[in-house]
Amino acid sequence: MLNMGGPSTVAETHDFLKNLFLDGDLIPLPFQRFLAPWIAKRRTPQIEQQYTDIGGGSPILRYTQIQGEGMVKLMDELSPETAPHKAYVAFRYAKPLTEETARQMKADGVTRAVAFTQYPQYSCSTTGSSLNELYRRGKAGEFGKDIEWSVIDRWGTHPGFIEAVAQNIEAALAKFPESTRSETVLLFSAHSLPMSVVNRGDPYVLEVSASVSAVMDRLGHSNPYRLVWQSQVGPSAWMGMQTGEALKGLARLGKKQVVLIPIAFTSDHIETLYELDLEYAKEAREHGIEVHRAASLNDSPVFIRALADIATAHLQQTRKVGPTSIQMGLRCPGCTNATCGAQKTWFARGGR
């Protein structure tokens, strides 16, 4: 189960940020090895405060473990012929890091593994970065010599995922009076991307949009909606409109009720708990809007069932169509990162 991870305790914030700023697939910096620790150190106090404000750390490891354990238990029933199944977590920037998971899987003698991204929609800055890291360590033999790999690279329109999101939206909508419920604006919010990434042909914006469309179809287009983008960092141009600005704009247009929906991340993190709940919701209230946030998927049983369905279907499909999806084979038209190409070739051969 691949994801970025987060500091489980406030004290781990610095290492998390350092790993993040060292990732040239996410943030290419000149003199990265020197600049990354410096930026991380400078940014640590502010981000530490945010993790303190949301209860002393990121819950992502705890939720990923719950999701993984629930998933493999269901898979043992759904697919006894491939049992027993075991879930491992490999985070890109926090513990357990890919290298640690590799050691564990090697010690366990794993011979067949699925790299299952926990980002529903594909971006080279998220799933792509995790796959590049896995490729580097896999090629170096850190997982052991005889391991066969396949990849679940995206699942942003899977009906089980869509159902889980839709149910959480319905629960949030139910907090508004029935008489005005249909006037509530559904504001889908995803982590933004720098325009430099969008403009090299990254598929993320399209895939997040596809998730939103699928959710709205499932809801029978019961409400007006928009997709907006949050958490941009630094001075460069990022994908917009920004979530905070959108809330102010909706207030200006006289909207009174909004449901905020995190659509690109499956568990709570500072974006939902801090930005959406503490910053935006408070600001919106000051502008006369009542905001409720759709819960993150976290330990949703509907979502855990979806993960099991996705993984089970994948195990059956790989026998027919091979280790990777057709879509995964195509690099961004503007990609100049040689690792992306080598990584895709390596996984297409089952990690050999």
Please give the Cα distance from 48 to 243 (Å, whole number). 23
Strand 290-293, strand 257-262: pairing: parallel
Q: Check if the beta carbon of residue 294 is closer than 8 Å to that of residue 169.
A: yes
User: What is the C-alpha to C-alpha distance for residues 284 and 251, in angstroms, rounded to an integer?
Assistant: 7
Q: Are 212 and 289 in contact (CB under 8 A)?
A: no
- Asked if 331 touches ligand FES (CB under 6 A), the answer is yes
* Least Å from the CB of residue 85 to ligand L6N33NVT: 25
Q: Which is nearer to ligand L6N33NVT, 29 or 302 (CB)?
A: 29
Which pair of structure tokens corresponds to residue 216? 């709205």
- Helices 301-321 and 60-78: angle between axes, nearest 10 degrees: 60
**Residue with smaller CB distance to ligand FES, 45 or 341:** 341
- Beta strand 2-3 with 112-116 is unpaired
What pairs with residue 242 in β-bridges?
A: 229
Only one of the segments 82-90, 187-195, 290-298, 306-314 lies at the binding site for ligand L6N33NVT (rule: CB under 6 A); that segment is 187-195
Binding partner at 191 among ligand L6N33NVT, ligand FES, none, C-beta below 5 to 8 Å by kind: ligand L6N33NVT
Please report, as residue ranges, which positions from 111 to 130 form the binding site for ligand FES (by CB under 6 A).
124, 128
Q: Report the partner that residue 226 touches, choosing among ligand L6N33NVT, ligand FES, none (CB closer than 5 to 8 A by kind).
A: none
Q: Which of 119, 143, 161, 303 binds ligand L6N33NVT (CB under 6 A)?
A: 119
Q: Please state the closest distance from residue 341 (CB atom) to ligand FES, in A.
A: 8
Please tell me whether residue 264 binds ligand L6N33NVT under the rule CB under 6 A.
yes
**Both structure tokens of 15:** 């290492």
Q: Cα(131)–Cα(343) distance, rounded to whole angstroms?
A: 7
State how far the Cα of 25 lies from the Cα of 16, in Å rounded to an integer: 16
Of the candidates 27, 165, 187, 332, which one interacts with ligand FES according to CB under 6 A? 332
Task: Pick one of ligand L6N33NVT, ligand FES, none as the site partner of residue 332 (Cβ within 5 to 8 A by kind).
Answer: ligand FES
Per-residue binding letters, 75-114, with ligand L6N33NVT (x by CB under 6 A): ----------------------------------------
Is 337 near ligand FES (CB under 6 A)? yes
| Residue spans of alpha helices (H) in 11-158 | 13-21, 32-53, 60-78, 98-108, 127-139
Which are the contacts of 84, defined by CB distance < 8 A and separation ≥ 6?
72, 76
Q: List interacting residues with ligand FES (CB under 6 A).
A: 124, 128, 202, 331-332, 335, 337, 340
Residues carrying an active site annotation: 158, 309
